A and B are shown apart, each in its own frame.
Chain A
Amino acid sequence: MGSFGMIIGTWLAGFLTFAILSFLYKDNPFYKLAEHLYVGVSAGYWLIYVAFFDVEPMLVRGFLDETGIEKWILLVPAALGVIMLSRWFPKTAWLSRWPIAFTVGVGAGLGITANIQGYVVPQIQATLLPITGLNMDSLDSLILVVGVVTTILYFYFSKPHKGILGGAAKVGIVFIMISFGASFGYTLMARLSLLIGRLYFILSDLLHII
Chain B
Amino acid sequence: MVAPMTDRTARRFGLVVAIALGVLIVTDGDAFAQADAGADVDAGVDAGLHARALADSGRFGESDLPVACGVAVSDVPDDAGGQLRVTWGVLAERVKSDAITGYEILRYGPGESPEPVGDALATDSEYTDTTAEDGVPYQYVVRTRTPFGSTDSEPCEPAIARAQWFARGRLSTLIVVLLFCAALAYFIRKAKGGGDLFVRKIPGLEAVDDAVGRATEMGRPVLFVPGIETVSEVGTLAALTILGHVAKRVARHGTPLDVPCADPIVMTTAQEIVKQAYAEVGRPEEYDPMRVAYLTYDQFGYTAGVDGMMLRDRPEAVFLIGTFYAESLILAETGHSIGAIQIAGTKETSQLPFFVAACDYTLIGEEIFAASSYLSREPVMLGSLKGQDLAKLGIVCVILFAFVVGTAGALIRPDGTSVLTRIFEFVSAWFN
Contacts and interface: CB of A to CB of B under 8 A. Distances in A.
Interface of A: 20, 23, 27, 31-32, 34-36, 38-43, 45-46, 84, 87, 96-97, 99-100, 103-104, 106-108, 110-113, 116-117, 120-121, 124-125, 127-133, 141, 145, 148-149, 152-153, 155-161, 176-177, 179-181, 183-184, 187, 191
Interface in B286-305: 294-298, 300-302, 304-305
B304 A187 contact: no
Contacts of A100: 231, 265, 268-269, 272
Contacts of B305: 35, 38-39
A158 to B, nearest CB: 4
Given A34-B304, A128-B431, A103 B231 contact: yes
Contacts of B329: 191
B263 to A, nearest CB: 10
Nearest to A93: B272
Interface in B396-422: 396, 398-400, 402-403, 405-407, 409-411, 414
Given A149-B399, A183-B349, A157 B199 contact: yes
A132 B232 contact: no
A157 B176 contact: no
- Nearest first, the 3 closest Cβ-Cβ pairs linking A and B are A107-B232, A130-B406, A42-B298
Nearest to B300: A38
Contact of A121 (B176, B268, B403, B427): B176
B237 A145 contact: no
B173 A108 contact: no
A133 B392 CA distance: 29
Contacts of A87: 268
B137 interface: no
7 contacts: A35-B304, A112-B177, A128-B427, A145-B399, A148-B399, A157-B199, A158-B198
Interface string B333-362: 000000000000000011011101100000
Given A39-B296, A43-B297, A133 B410 contact: yes
Contacts of A106: 232
Contacts of A128: 398-399, 402-403, 406, 424, 427-428, 431
B365 A155 contact: yes
A149 B404 CA distance: 13
A157 B389 contact: yes
B410 A130 contact: yes
Given A31-B308, A183-B349, 11 more contacts: A42-B301, A43-B296, A43-B298, A100-B272, A103-B231, A107-B234, A128-B428, A130-B405, A176-B364, A184-B357, A187-B354
Nearest to A123: B395
B183 to A, nearest CB: 12
B233 interface: yes
Interface string B195-238: 00111101000000000000000000000000000111110010
A155 B392 contact: yes
A42 B181 CA distance: 41
Contacts of A160: 200
Given A130-B407, A156-B393, A157-B200, A32 B237 contact: no
A121 B357 CA distance: 31
Contact of B406 (A84, A99, A129, A176): A129
A191 B265 CA distance: 30
B291 to A, nearest CB: 16
